[in-house]
Amino acid sequence: EIVMTQSPATLSVSPGERATLSCRASQSVSRNLAWYQQKPGQAPRLLVHAASSRATGIPTRFSGSGSGTDFTLTITSLQSEDFAVYYCQQYQNWPPYTFGQGTKLEIK
């Protein structure tokens, strides 16, 4: 089973600034990596798939990068609605699909 590790667990950033979230896989997942955003009481929403492709309707301030074992989600010019929990997920080697433990992005 591939273990996904996200860092940091909590990230405090001011509105208008940039946030950088990291995700590391215990073995290569090529570019089969997705990022999801989850707000309290809501379902996860797909932001990025194939490591760097934005999902339909996702603003351009969200960008993903990386391949192999190290991945990054960057959110530029943070808006109030961006403060949420973010999960990475690999879909290279499955079952099982595995998720990271999440990064909580909070307002500084």
Which residues would be at the binding site for other proteins (CB under 8 A)? 32, 34, 36, 42-46, 49-50, 55-56, 87, 89, 91, 94-102
Q: Which residue lies nearer to other proteins by CB, 16 or 56?
A: 56
Q: Would you say 20 and 35 are in contact if contact means Cβ atoms under 8 Å apart? A: no
Q: Among residues 13 and 46, whose Cβ is nearest to other proteins?
A: 46
Q: How far is the CB of 56 from other proteins (least distance, A)?
A: 8
- Smallest distance from other proteins to CB 77, Å: 25
Shortest distance (Å) from residue 99 CB to other proteins = 4
Instruction: Pick between residue 10 and residue 14 the one whose CB is nearest to other proteins.
Output: 10
Is 84:37 a contact under the CB 8 Å cutoff? yes
10 versus 101: smaller Cβ distance to other proteins:
101
**Closest to 23 measured CA to CA, from 82, 97, 90:** 90
Q: Which two tokens stand for residue 99?
A: 């998720």
CB-CB contact of 54 with 34 (8 Å) = no
SS3 category, 108? coil
Min separation Cβ 62 and other proteins, Å: 15
Per DSSP, what are the bridge partners of residue 89? Answer: 34, 99
